[in-house]
Structure 1
Amino acid sequence: MDSVDLNVLRSVLEWRRAGHRVMLYSVVQTWGSAPRPPGAMLALRGDGVVIGSVSGGCIEDDLIARLQDGRLPEEGPPVQLVTYGVTRDEAARFGLPCGGTLRLTEERVSDPAWVAELLTRCEAHEIVARELVLATGEVTLSSAGKTDTLSFDGKCLRAIYGPRWRLLLIGAGQLSRYVAEMARLLDFEVLICDPRKEFVYGWEEQHGRFVPGMPDEAVLAIQTDERTAVVALTHDPRLDDMALLTALNSSAFYIGALGSQVNSQKRRENLAALGMAAQAIARLHGPIGLYIGSHTPAEIALSLMAEIVAIKNGIVAVQKKPLSVAVS
């Protein structure tokens, strides 16, 4: 699940605790070219305020209109199905591209206890499944695996919710500041470890959290998991390699280290000399980032985050260097 949708649930909890009426919409099925994937969420407050998105905007306008013109009664079934774009005319009316069709659950949130529990479990870095029975509105939460996906059989919706993606930066230098800013805009939780006190100044406004201790201790302290990326950016092997020795044996989905082709090869040789298995060393990304001809710290940060996001999204083939052009 996209952590942007967790923000929807945070608003649902806040609104219900404040006594507002709240309707929660979840995309459960799509046909054709739909703007948002199954699992996308939107919450509609009783006064018409919305958070989240289930389309490019036109469906959101209609949901608000249904509330304002009385088509959304305060009483009735706890959950209903709403379908948009069944006909080509409707698809055009609601801005659905290529005749797409979108089906949503329209759920009246009465007791927000399940929302609070789900958010707490996600904050503890647990992957959670929420089962919603359409006939009764009953909600059940259970643990889920990283390969679980949303399912819907017309009677029960099983949606998967996960914690935010995290990025642990080893080093608090200039490059790390650019990386942290881009990662934050991409909704990563940013963690920083740098035992060098000289580099800490000015990080107060970077929206990152410092993890105390040495780099290897930091990797262990945050309980690195499949939703965590670790990047060593100090350019000092005494610090970078400490983190890598621990991170490469963790379940982190991305592990990288700043350095040229030559330095990256030397680092791999050093790790092998320290007894690290070849399979673990093969997980190391170095040089880091997609090739975009980077020169400045901001460009290197963009290259790095592009690679991290690609791998997070399941894109395996990443370009590391420019393709050679045959001259005829």
Structure 2
Amino acid sequence: MDSVDLQVLATAQRWAAEGRRFAWVTVARTWGSAPRPPGAWLVLREDGLVEGSVSGGCIEDDLIERMREGRLAGERPFALVYGVTKEEAERIGLPCGGRLEVIVEPQPDLAVLYELAARLGLHQLVAKRVDLASGRTTLSQARRGEAMRWDGQQLLTVHGPQWRLLIIGAGQISRYLAQMALALDYDITVCDPREEYIQGWDLPGTRLVTSMPDDTLLAMVPDARCAVVALTHDPKLDDMVLLEALRSPVFYVGAVGSRANNDARRERLMTHFDFTAAELSRLHGPIGLPIGSHTPPEIAVAILAEMVAVRNGVQLDAQLPRWSAAPANSQASACALP
């Protein structure tokens, strides 16, 4: 599956190949209850066809009207601000108090577009800079953790796999989890030193390694944009990566297994490896949100949903009874797998 960015790029490339004129629109800044975050983008063809979104539909109609009337023309990029007045916000349909500023590239540089697509195809992290003063758009290698910037003259957006996911085990759940995580633009490494599991792994867009899990994580130099999910059911492999992950800055650490298995795992880590209660509290195990998961794809949904919640700063314990969606002896949840 392609990420939203790659879908937009693919559409832009197709339109370019067909000789169609189109504009590139990026959210530069938001105030209040803006529907889409800074960095969201779309491409808009001269006949009004749209791929992507900058407002969830609020300002797209206005952009389409401007394009059809020739008001998104010219060669140089420029800024548009929506929701400046209450009347305008109501006319466009922005939420109460919402405002957003977008940068329009009426004639995107096709060479830059193709280079960006090629770099993203190689899973590179790319910075795209639009300079309103010079009218130039340039690309460069982005630094991991580099953030989007807009100073009123230059817009810097970062594209590519800014988030990383290390999956331990190349089984069925891992395959579904990796497929779904690709849609969220994760850079995915699957680690499994077991020969019998790696033979059938052929998922495009992922990296398969056969080194030991702890060595694999250390080689990745984990940071706060990295998640670790252990899915082998084998303590000799899962625990190895947990020893490193729980003391690293990764934002999410999860391990498959029942309540009993995870309680035993925590006891092992505390007794034999001197983990503190605070360190062990970072372990999501049983793993995944309690949504009554049965099948591998359902379990993958539960895991990824929990990762999204943690990544977005949602306090799960405050939102729902974390593991009470099924009776204690039920096998109906991803978190209750043996």
- 1:237 aligns with one of 211, 216, 235: 235
Counterpart for residue 55 of structure 1: 55
* Structure 1: 5+ residue stretches without partners: 324-328
Partner-residue secondary structure (3-state), 1:97: coil
What residue number does 1:326 align with? none
- State the distance in 1 between where 2:144 and 2:233 align: 36
1:87 deviates by 4.4
| Structure 2 residues not aligned, in runs of 5+ | 326-338
Percent same amino acid at aligned positions?
49
- CA–CA distance in structure 2, aligned partners of residues 221 and 124 of structure 1: 18
Distance 1:145 1:295 in 2: 36
1:215 alignment counterpart: 213
Does residue 191 (structure 1) correspond to residue 193 (structure 2)? The answer is no
Aligned-residue offset at 1:22: 4.5
Q: 1:255 to 1:119 in 2, by over 3 A?
A: farther
SS of alignment partner, residue 130 of structure 2: strand
CA distance in 1, matches of 2:122, 2:250: 18
Cα distance, 1:33 vs structure 2: 2.9
Tell me the equivalent position of 1:322: 324
Using the TM superposition, give the Cα deviation of residue 39 of structure 1 relative to its aligned residue in structure 2, in angstroms: 1.9
1:60-209, aligned counterparts within 5 Å?
60-73=60-73, 75=74, 78-98=76-96, 100-107=98-105, 108-110=107-109, 112-113=111-112, 116=115, 120=119, 126=125, 130-139=128-137, 141=140, 143=142, 146=145, 149-161=147-159, 163-200=161-198, 203-204=201-202, 208-209=206-207
* 1:261 matches 2:259: yes
State the superposition RMSD in angstroms.
3.8
Instruction: For residue 255 of structure 1, report the CA deviation from its aligned partner.
Output: 1.5
User: 1:270-321: per-residue Cα shift (whole Å, max 9, x none)?
Assistant: 3345546536545332222233454554443333222111111122444533
Alpha-carbon separation, structure 1, partners of 2:100 and 2:142: 28
1:231 Cα deviation (Å)? 1.0
Deviations 1:224-251 (A, max 9, x none): 4433221111111112122223433444
Shift of 1:70: 2.5
CA distance in 1, matches of 2:208, 2:66: 46
Q: CA offsets per residue over residues 200-240 of structure 1, 9 Å max, x none? A: 46654686543233333433455544332211111111121
Deviation at 1:27, TM superposition (A): 1.4
Tell me which residue corresponds to 2:331.
Answer: none
Change (3 A) 1:113 1:184: closer
1:273–1:15 Cα change, 3 Å: farther
Counterpart position of 2:330: none
Q: Secondary structure at the match of 1:37?
A: coil
Contact map agreement 2:161 2:185 (CA 8 A) in 1: no
Q: Return the TM-score normalized by structure 1.
A: 0.75
1:137–1:207 CA distance, 2 compared to 1 (3 A): closer
Task: State the secondary structure of the residue aligned to 2:96.
Answer: helix
Verify the 8 A CA contact 2:80 2:103 in the aligned structure 1: yes
Match for 1:4: what amino acid? V
1:28 Cα deviation from its structure 2 partner: 2.1
Preserved contact between residue 180 and residue 206 of structure 1 (Cα < 8 Å):
no
In the TM superposition, what is the alpha-carbon distance from 1:174 to its structure 2 partner?
Answer: 3.5
CA distance in 1, matches of 2:120, 2:247: 25
1:264 Cα deviation after fit: 1.9
Between the aligned partners of 1:177 and 1:305, the Cα distance in structure 2 is: 12
Matched residue, 2:306 = 307
8 Å Cα contact 2:27/2:38 also seen in 1: yes
Equivalent in the alignment of 1:27: 27
User: 2: distance between equivalents of 1:121 and 1:12?
Assistant: 14
Q: Does 1:247 align with 2:263?
A: no
Following TM superposition, by how much is the alpha carbon of 1:53 offset from its aligned partner in structure 2, in angstroms?
Answer: 0.9
In structure 1, what is the Cα distance between the partners aligned to 2:143 and 2:202? 36
CA separation in 2, counterparts of 1:287 and 1:31? 38
For residue 265 of structure 2, give the secondary structure of its aligned residue in structure 1: helix
For the 8 Å contact 1:235–1:259, the answer to whether it is kept is yes
Amino acid in structure 2 at the alignment position of 1:260: S
TM-score, scaled relative to structure 2? 0.73
